Amino acid sequence: MLNNPVDLLSVVLGGALGRSGRKRARRAAHFLGGRGGFLSASTLIAAAGVAWGIYDSVKGQQQGAFGASGAMGSVPGPPVPPVPVLPEPLPDPVLRIIRLAVSAARADGDLSEKERALILERAREAGLEAVIEAELAAPHPLADIVRGLTHAEGRKELYVLAFTIVRADETVSGAERIYLAQLAHQLGLDAATVAALESETATKIDAQPNS
C-alpha cells in the first residue's frame, strides 16, 4: 500500500524513465528516488506531502463513517487485504507532478505501445492506472500544469524533474529540446538559470550508480 506521495510518484516516474529501455536510465531513477534523492528533498514534494496528509485524513474519516456495504452505521464485514486504489481527485500538488511526468515522457512525440504499456504497468502498481490512462489520452498543456506555481524554488524543481525524464538515456533530442524551452518559458526561467540547472542536474545524475 502506498501511503505517501514520494512512494507513489517514484512508481509513476519509474514508468516514465523506464520507457527508454536503456540501463543508463537507472542513474536518473536513482537521482530522483534514491536515498536522499531529489524527490525526498524537493519543496514540491513537501507541498504534496502536506496536501496528501489532508487528503489521507479526509479519506480516512469518510471510510470510518461507512461500513462494508457503504451505508452509515452498517456492520463491518471481514477484513479485506489492502489494495492500492486511490480515489480521485488526488491533491493538486501530486497531480501536477504526475502530469509533468506524462508530458515529459511524450516530449519527443507519441509514445509507442510498448512505452505506453510500461508506464501503465507501473501506474497500476500505485493504483493510478485510470488517472495515468486519462492523462495519456488527453495530456494537459504546459501552461495548465505550471499554473498557480509561484514559488521560485518549486519552478526550478519542476524543470529539473522534466529535464531528468527527457535525459534518461543521456541524450536530449531536438523535439525534447524544444519541449524544455517551452517549459522554461512557462516557468519564467531565463537561459542562464536553465543552463545552470541542467549542468548541475546532469552532473548529479552521472554520479549515480548504474545498477
The verdict on residue 211 lying in a domain is no
Residue 41 lies in a domain: yes
Whole-angstrom distance, CA of residue 45 vs CA of residue 53 = 12
Residue 210 lies in a domain: no
Pick from 157, 166, 112: nearest CA to 136? 112
What residues make up the domain containing 98?
A: 5-77+84-205
Residue 63 lies in a domain: yes
Residue 48 domain flag: yes
The answer to whether residue 108 is domain-embedded is yes
- Does some domain include residue 163? yes
Greatest Cα pair distance in the chain:
62
**Domain count of the fold of the chain:** 1
Over its length of 211 residues, how does the chain's per-residue pLDDT go in tens digits? 444 556 666 666 666 666 655 445 777 777 777 566 777 667 776 665 554 554 445 445 544 544 444 443 444 444 444 444 444 567 777 788 888 888 888 888 777 787 788 778 877 877 778 878 888 888 889 999 999 888 899 899 999 989 988 887 777 889 999 999 999 999 999 999 999 999 999 898 888 876 6
Whole-model pTM: value is 0.72
Mapped onto helix, strand or coil, the DSSP state of residue 21 is: coil
- Which secondary structure element, helix H or strand E, spans residue 201, and what is its range? helix 191-206
What is the b/e burial string over 41-65, where b = at least 16 CB atoms within 10 angstroms of the residue's CB? Answer: ebebbebbbebbeebeeeeeeeeee
159 in any annotated domain: yes
In the chain, the N- to C-terminal Cα span, in Å, equals 25
d(CA 104, CA 180): 9
Phi, psi of 112 (to 5 degrees): -75, 165
pLDDT digits (tens, 9 = 90+) for 85-104: 444 567 777 788 888 888 88
